[in-house]
């Protein structure tokens, strides 16, 4: 494919970035902003009904959803959801910290602020917000960011609530988890000042860096989401949602440009063919009777189930639905996807595709074409469904063709992993917003802004330069620390504690990612957890080997403190004295091994010290190894063995005298009970055979003496 | 005693203000610029320029700001100072109209009168101002809730547009008269009253005394979430209420509200036994002292109550349309001062309902003024703050003292129910022994003689789906 000349095409891109903020509570209630992986405590089921929109009309997509009898299931976790999330309590006072973060970012982006903020409601009719709207506030407009010497305009910054997480969608039922609902988000919208796909990626990177470098953002997968707006000269603004990775941006834009170019080509072709909107009609025909005995199996079955076959004739568009808009993506497919998105109908059949694939008889198609009085350049579109749905589907088709005559429609589309996009909905205008009557306006004083300006965080590029001078870390690590938002925290830790900066960076950048790979919700690990972790390390209450297990435990049960997690894991550090005892015990029990292998006994003995006494994470592995080596070198088995036998004799005689009664009563039969008692007293430090032998002897002696 | 007075509900004849809600500095400034609400304006202050539509401003807010709707849809407050320059462009009046649907009556279906008194249920939202307006024409209702069409022929009528806290005893009386006419003269098959939830129990209780021997049901219904929310309870509640009024084989005054936070079922409550027990939840209404009257789910009505009056269109409705609003409801608390009671006596009150502690107790310093009140022919009724349970004034010394001075034990009557009932009884008699006798006579199911052993635990928000999944010890 030929490279595109974006300048000549008049490419304009804008970004919309949503990033969760690091706060102590949600935006309008006091729930902790934590995600949950365990089973929900409660389920609430709601039926969504269409609501009247601001223009006094029902939302059309919503009506169709309603016809599907949309049921929404909400999963609730008591510790992170209250009655606010389930729309049973009005909002509480807004989280001040979230607003402050918004203003700090606004200051870094040279924004003009409003000093009286009004909470607005933005309709969300897909069930992702139980009350049906997201609360959002515009805090400022008209800022800018310099990227590679170019000024990129920032249109607006808003602070808003995150929506619920969709867990599954199953026909008529959508399940959402409410933990994410209400977590504060910052929304940054740029002007469409970006002119190439690469530039768009750089701006997104730069903005992301700026946000994360402040250390005020939530970290982890899914905490930042970016949408890209794309338009070309003569095309239209298309919003691409759900761009998960920065690297996706250039190929997605390139594909969107090609899609728009090809849609424009189609428009031109339709102009040449003189197709006008008036040529299109909602003349939907029920042709079920023609297909009752069709050789196409799925149509036949559908009719048996009571569904109907509807067709519409579209004049002059033969050959238009077939060709690719982008590789592997035809205009016909785009039509079908839109039908699916709006009506839920699986697909459409049209005469611009290979109808033999459906196993229709040639005669069936000929009859149909005759019935529709089709001419060469005409196309029919067929759907199989109940009447109402079939008609809605064909209406979508006709309306989309009408749009094709005009060119590119304004749409919101979702990014797919192969860098193509899929229709979500027609692009909303600004009018979806209306005032929230449950919250008062927020008045901001000059002093408030003055105070914030005094303590602005450093810009990321300045932070990077300083960190390079201060720590022995490679550039990539520094960049990662900044981009992932750990830089301020990293510096706090290494300044406060004597811990190797590399260990701190590895823990933050690698270990958290590793436990996520193992299926632990690492996003639940907050800064307090991490701070406590490093403090325990610093006080040598844990060893670095314990880090991963503790983080996993905290990720699973975020309400635990790090110390509690440590206690739960029984990871209290082992003192050097305790270690010496453990090592001595292990050596005593492995006299044979030591005699046979000498120094080579180190490896199995090390294993036993680590595993049997669960020393992993309780004391630095290197210290264990050193001490063990030392002990092996200086160990003289004979001498020690004597010690034990002396001790053992003493223990046994004590035992016998304390259990005299038992012996008098049972004589030799007391052996079994006494053996159990003896084993408990020596705690497995002496070989059992030796114990049995000695005990037997001692009992015999005792009884004899008596 | 007051009969139905010349109470006229206000019809919102407020003088049109071109700068709604603006006062003080901002108003002066806007007036000087010739700007009105809904004008598109540009406000310039130094280098900053903001353009938008002037919105009406809620009262009681900072007087230096103007609320603008920006082109992107957001609202913001813009501070006006002496240096702000306001340029007026055009006007953009927001027009908000509900689509209307033709409704043709179906002969086989029952006819239900739907009376609107205000409140959340009968409202719709103006998206531009966030204000809530009444929405109650038949066409509007059928558009919003098409299911209603299949249940009955609905005859909606706006009676009041009132916040429910303003619906005082005189409104109860007038409303009863209207309902009486609907049943007696228009021969409807049932009445549904859309009412604000805050005081729905008061109005419902009053109606159950004012109108007796009913031939058809009277159902009060409300909503805790306005209908601009897709998960509002207004549709399900209206459908359940209308179903009960149209099809229920019963003839009582009942309240219908959602029984769980899920859109699952509605519960029917006798108003005298019901209470709004949560300030905002959909399932706020609970029957106190026993289990609810019944349940409505997906068009099916299940009645739990054993003793109730069945539907009989030939039964003659009786109206006892007298009410005496000179009654006070006093919540007792440690430290309460006797002047409170003295004041009521001085102001010639006719009745006092006390919400006492525990089994029905008041502090010692109230005994003297209460004694004086009763001597001055003021009826004093004791109820319990605990809501659940009966007065038990023979148990402790204080209770016996209270009985000795002539306080009427309110048995299981909820404080609010006792208040409404006393208003109604005093409307008919001031004779204290008659009052005592009437207060303790069951009229509309408000008096309970027994509380089932587990009544306290059933249907009080402990829903099966919750207890099944909930395991607090798990954590």
Phi, psi of B153 (to 5 degrees): -90, 120
**Whether B326 is catalytic:** no
A32 φ/ψ angles, rounded to the nearest 5 degrees: -70, 140
Give the gap in angstroms from C-alpha A115 to the nearest C-alpha of chain B.
Answer: 7
Report whether pLDDT(A567) > 50.
yes
Whether residue A53 is predicted with pLDDT greater than 90 in this model: the reply is no
- How much of chain A exceeds pLDDT 70, in percent? 92
Q: Does any CB of chain A come closer than 8 Å to the CB of residue B175? A: no
Q: What is the mean pLDDT of residues A449-456?
A: 92
- CB–CB contact A54 B128 (8 Å): yes
pLDDT band at B132 (very low <50, low <70, confident <90, very high): low
Check residue B462 and give its pLDDT.
45
- C-beta of residue A156 within 8 angstroms of C-beta of residue A189: yes
* pLDDT tens, position by position, A395-448: 999 999 999 999 999 999 999 999 999 998 887 654 567 888 889 899 999 999
pLDDT grade for A573, boundaries at 50, 70 and 90 = low
B97 has a pLDDT exceeding 60: no
**Cβ-defined contact of A115 to B77 (cutoff 8 Å):** yes
How far is A423 from chain B, CA to nearest CA, in Å?
Answer: 23
Q: Is B276 a catalytic residue?
A: yes
Question: Are B230 and A430 a contacting pair at CB < 8 A?
Answer: no
B61 touches chain A (CB under 8 A): yes
For this structure, is B203 an active site residue?
no
| Per-residue confidence (pLDDT) for residue B160, from 0 to 100 | 85
Instruction: Tell which phi-psi region holds residue A275, choosing left (phi > 0), alpha (psi between -120 and 50) or beta.
Output: beta
Would you place residue B463 in the very low, low, confident or very high pLDDT band (cuts 50, 70, 90)? very low
- pLDDT of amino acid B461: 45
Q: So what's the pLDDT on residue B465?
A: 43
Smallest CA–CA separation between B217 and chain A, in Å?
27
**Res A372 pLDDT > 70:** yes
Looking at every residue in chain B, the average pLDDT score rounds to 87
In the block, which residue shows the tokens 């005082």? B168
Question: d(Cα A438, Cα A93) in Å, to the nearest integer?
Answer: 10
In the predicted model, what is the mean pLDDT of chain A? 87
Query: CA-to-CA distance for A144 and A155, rounded, in angstroms?
Result: 8
Distance CA B94, CA B126 (A): 9
Scanning A460-561, the segments in alpha helix (DSSP H) are 460-470, 475-483, 487-496, 501-506, 512-517, 527-538, 547-556
Alpha-carbon distance B72 to nearest alpha carbon in chain A (angstroms): 5
Least confident of A153-157, A529-533, A628-632, A684-688: A684-688
Comparing CB atoms, the residue among B281, B466, B471 nearest residue A83 is B281
| Residue B230: predicted pLDDT | 77
Longest dimension (CA), chain B: 80
Tens digit of each residue's pLDDT (9 = 90 or more) over A334-367: 999 999 888 888 889 999 888 888 888 888 899 9
Smallest Cβ distance to B470: which of A41, A62, A435? A41
In terms of pLDDT, which residue wins out, B283 or B470?
B283
Contact A131 B235 (CB under 8 A): no
Give CA–CA dist A110/A131, Å, rounded.
34
H or E stretch covering A151: strand A150-161
Q: Please judge whether B231 and A132 are an interchain contact, meaning their C-beta atoms are less than 8 angstroms apart.
A: yes
Neighbours of A18 (CB within 10 A): 18
Range name among A15-24, A45-54, B71-80, B369-378 with the lowest pLDDT average: A45-54
> Buried b vs exposed e over B232-247: b needs ≥16 C-beta within 10 Å?
bbbbbbbbbbbbbbbb
pLDDT at B8 over 50: no
| pLDDT at residue B58, as a whole number | 76
Q: Which of B29, B36, B276, B326 is catalytic?
A: B276
Higher pLDDT, B403 or A648: B403
Q: Which of B76, B97, B131 sits opposite A118 (nearest CB)?
A: B76
Angle at A62 between CA A253 and CA A69, to 5 degrees: 125
Burial A239-264 (b: 16+ CB within 10 A, else e): bbbebeebebbbebbbbbbbbbbbbb
CA distances from B265 to A65, A176, A238, B285, B287 (A): 22, 22, 43, 13, 15
Nearest C-alpha neighbor of A114 from the set B448, B78, B12: B78
> Of the candidates A505, A501, A480, which has an alpha carbon nearest to the alpha carbon of residue A205?
A480
Provide the pLDDT for residue A38. Answer: 86
State how far the alpha carbon of A353 is from the alpha carbons of A337, A348, A387, in Å: 15, 11, 24
Q: What is the pLDDT of residues A91-107, one digit of tens each?
A: 999 999 999 999 999 99
Q: Is the pLDDT of residue B5 over 50?
A: no
Query: B136 pLDDT exceeds 70?
Result: no
B120, B205, B287, B383: the catalytic one is: B120
Q: What is the pLDDT of residue B12?
A: 41
Q: Which residue has the tokens 């959602």?
A: B258
C-alpha distances out from residue A672 to A29, A676, A678, A680, A684, Å: 65, 7, 10, 13, 16
Pairwise pLDDT comparison (B296 vs A430), residue with the higher score: B296
Residue A56 has pLDDT above 60, yes or no: no
Domains of chain B: 24-91 (2.30.30.520), 111-319 (3.40.50.1170), 327-439 (3.40.50.40)
Q: Are A366 and A334 in contact (CB under 8 A)?
A: no
pLDDT at position B61 over 90? no
pLDDT at B79: 92
Q: A262-271, B45-54, B253-262: lowest mean pLDDT where?
A: B45-54
pTM as predicted: 0.78
Q: What is the pLDDT of residue A637?
A: 52
Query: Is B322's pLDDT higher than 60?
Result: yes
pLDDT value, residue B10: 40
B198 counts as catalytic: yes
Question: How far apart are alpha carbons B333 and A440 in whole angstroms?
Answer: 34
pLDDT recorded at residue A616: 65
Average of per-residue pLDDT across A477-504: 89
CATH superfamily ID and name for A274-319+332-403: GAD-like domain (3.30.1360.30)
pLDDT confidence of residue B474: 41
Annotated active-site residue in B111, B197, B199, B203: B197
Domain parsing of chain A, residue ranges: 6-237, 274-319+332-403, 486-566, 576-635, 639-705
Q: What is the predicted pLDDT for the residue at B307?
A: 92
SS3 A20: strand
Query: Over 70: is that where the pLDDT of A220 sits?
Result: yes
pLDDT at B130: 64
**Tell me, what's the pLDDT at A595?**
74
């Amino acid at each position: 494919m030929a490279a595109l000349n974006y300048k000549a095409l008049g490419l304009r891109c804008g970004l919309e970035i949503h990033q969760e903020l690091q706060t102590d509570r949600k935006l309008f209630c006091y729930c902790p902003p934590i995600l949950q992986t365990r089973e929900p405590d409660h389920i609430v089921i709601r039926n969504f009904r269409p609501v009247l929109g601001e223009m006094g009309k029902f939302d059309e997509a919503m009506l169709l959803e309603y016809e599907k009898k949309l049921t929404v299931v909400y999963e609730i976790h008591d510790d992170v959801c209250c009655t606010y999330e389930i729309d049973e309590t009005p909002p509480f006072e807004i989280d001040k910290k979230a607003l402050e973060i918004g203003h700090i970012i606004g200051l870094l982006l040279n924004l003009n602020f409003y000093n009286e903020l009004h909470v607005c409601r933005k309709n969300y009719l897909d069930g992702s917000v139980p009350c049906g709207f997201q609360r959002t506030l515009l805090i400022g407009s008209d800022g800018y960011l310099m990227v590679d010497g170019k000024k990129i305009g920032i249109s607006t910054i808003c602070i808003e609530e995150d929506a619920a997480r969709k867990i599954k969608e199953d026909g008529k039922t959508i399940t959402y988890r409410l933990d994410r609902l209400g977590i504060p988000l910052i929304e940054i919208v740029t002007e469409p000042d970006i002119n190439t796909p690469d530039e768009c990626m750089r701006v997104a990177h730069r903005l992301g860096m700026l946000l994360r470098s402040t250390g005020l953002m939530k970290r982890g997968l899914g905490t930042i989401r970016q949408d890209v707006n794309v338009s070309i000269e003569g095309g239209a603004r298309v919003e691409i949602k759900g761009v998960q990775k920065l690297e996706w941006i250039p190929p997605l834009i390139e594909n969107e440009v090609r899609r728009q170019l090809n849609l424009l080509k189609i428009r031109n072709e339709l102009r040449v063919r003189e197709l006008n909107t008036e040529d299109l009609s909602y003349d939907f025909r029920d042709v079920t009777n023609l297909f009752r005995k069709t050789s196409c199996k799925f149509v036949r079955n559908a009719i048996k189930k009571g569904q109907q076959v509807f067709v519409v004739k579209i004049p002059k568009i033969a050959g238009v639905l077939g060709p690719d808009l982008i590789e592997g993506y035809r205009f016909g497919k785009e039509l079908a996807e839109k039908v699916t998105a709006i009506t839920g109908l699986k697909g459409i059949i049209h005469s611009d595709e290979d109808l033999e694939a459906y196993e229709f008889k040639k005669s069936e198609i000929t009859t149909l074409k005759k019935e529709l009085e089709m001419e060469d350049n005409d196309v029919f579109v067929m759907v199989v469904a109940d009447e109402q749905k079939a008609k809605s589907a064909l209406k979508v088709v006709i309306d989309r063709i009408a749009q094709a005559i005009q060119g590119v429609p304004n749409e919101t589309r979702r990014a797919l992993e192969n860098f193509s996009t899929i229709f979500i909905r027609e692009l909303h205008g600004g009018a979806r917003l209306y005032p929230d009557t449950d919250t008062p306006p927020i008045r901001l004083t000059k002093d408030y802004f003055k105070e914030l300006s005094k303590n602005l965080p450093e810009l990321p590029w300045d932070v990077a330069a300083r960190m390079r001078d201060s720590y022995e870390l490679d550039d990539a690590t520094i960049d990662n620390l900044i981009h992932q938002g750990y830089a301020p925290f990293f510096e706090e830790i290494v300044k406060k504690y004597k811990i190797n900066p590399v260990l701190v960076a590895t823990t933050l950048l690698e270990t958290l990612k590793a436990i996520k790979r193992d299926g632990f919700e690492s996003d639940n690990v907050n800064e307090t957890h991490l701070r406590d972790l490093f403090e325990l390390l610093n006080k040598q209450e844990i060893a670095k080997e314990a880090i991963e297990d503790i983080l996993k435990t905290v990720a699973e049960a975020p309400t635990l403190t790090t110390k509690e997690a440590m206690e739960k894991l029984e990871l209290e550090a082992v003192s050097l004295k305790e270690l010496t005892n453990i090592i001595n015990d292990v050596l005593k029990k492995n006299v044979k091994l030591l005699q046979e292998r000498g120094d080579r006994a180190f490896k199995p003995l090390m294993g036993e010290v680590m595993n049997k006494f669960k020393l992993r994470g309780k004391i630095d592995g290197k210290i264990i190894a050193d001490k063990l080596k030392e002990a092996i070198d200086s160990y003289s088995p004979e001498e020690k063995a004597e010690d034990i036998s002396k001790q053992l004799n003493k223990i046994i005689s004590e035992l016998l005298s304390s259990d005299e009664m038992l012996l008098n009563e049972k004589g030799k039969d007391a052996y079994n009970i006494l053996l159990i008692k003896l084993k408990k007293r020596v705690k497995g430090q002496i070989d059992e055979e030796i114990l049995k032998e000695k005990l037997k002897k001692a009992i015999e002696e005792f009884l004899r003496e008596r | 005693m007051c009969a139905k007075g010349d109470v006229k509900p206000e019809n919102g004849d407020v003088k049109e203000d071109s700068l709604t809600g603006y006062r003080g500095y901002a108003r002066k400034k806007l007036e000087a610029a010739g700007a009105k609400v809904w004008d598109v304006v540009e406000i310039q202050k130094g280098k900053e320029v903001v353009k938008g539509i002037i919105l009406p401003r809620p009262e009681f807010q900072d007087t230096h700001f103007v609320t603008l709707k920006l082109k992107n849809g957001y609202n913001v407050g813009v501070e006006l100072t002496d240096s702000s320059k306001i340029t007026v462009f055009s006007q953009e009046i927001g027009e908000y109209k509900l689509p209307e649907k033709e409704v043709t009556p179906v002969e086989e279906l029952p006819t239900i009168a739907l009376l609107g008194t205000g409140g959340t249920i009968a409202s719709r939202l103006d998206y531009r101002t966030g204000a809530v307006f009444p929405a109650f024409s038949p066409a509007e209702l059928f558009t919003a809730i098409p299911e209603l069409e299949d249940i009955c022929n609905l005859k909606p009528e706006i009676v009041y547009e009132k916040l429910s806290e303003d619906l005082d005893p005189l409104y109860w009386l007038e409303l009863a008269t209207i309902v009486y006419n609907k049943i007696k003269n228009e021969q409807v098959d049932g009445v549904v009253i859309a009412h604000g939830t805050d005081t729905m129990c008061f109005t419902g209780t009053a109606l159950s005394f004012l109108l007796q021997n009913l031939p058809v049901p009277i159902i009060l219904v409300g909503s805790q979430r306005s209908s601009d929310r897709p998960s509002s309870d207004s549709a399900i509640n209206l459908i359940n209420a209308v179903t009960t009024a149209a099809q229920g084989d019963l003839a009582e005054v009942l309240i219908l509200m959602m029984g769980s936070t899920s859109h699952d079922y509605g519960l029917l409550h006798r108003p005298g036994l019901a209470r709004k027990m949560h300030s905002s939840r959909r399932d706020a209404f609970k029957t106190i002292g026993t289990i609810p009257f019944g349940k409505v789910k997906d068009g099916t009505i299940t009645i739990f109550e054993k003793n109730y009056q069945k539907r009989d269109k030939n039964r003659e409705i009786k109206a006892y349309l007298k009410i005496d609003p000179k009654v006070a409801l006093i919540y007792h608390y440690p430290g309460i001062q006797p002047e409170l009671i003295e004041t009521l006596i001085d102001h010639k009150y006719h009745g006092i309902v006390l919400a006492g502690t525990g089994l029905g107790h008041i502090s010692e310093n109230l005994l003297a003024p209460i004694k004086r009140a009763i001597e001055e022919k003021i009826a004093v009724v004791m109820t319990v703050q605990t809501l659940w349970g009966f007065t038990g004034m023979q148990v402790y010394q204080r209770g016996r003292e209270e009985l000795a001075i002539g306080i009427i034990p309110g048995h299981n009557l909820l404080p609010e129910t006792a208040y409404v009932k006393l208003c109604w009884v005093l409307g008919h008699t001031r004779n204290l022994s008659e009052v005592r006798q009437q207060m303790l006579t069951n009229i509309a199911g408000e008096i309970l003689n027994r509380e089932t052993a587990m009544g306290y635990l059933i249907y009080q928000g402990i829903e099966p789906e919750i207890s099944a999944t909930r395991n607090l010890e798990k954590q």
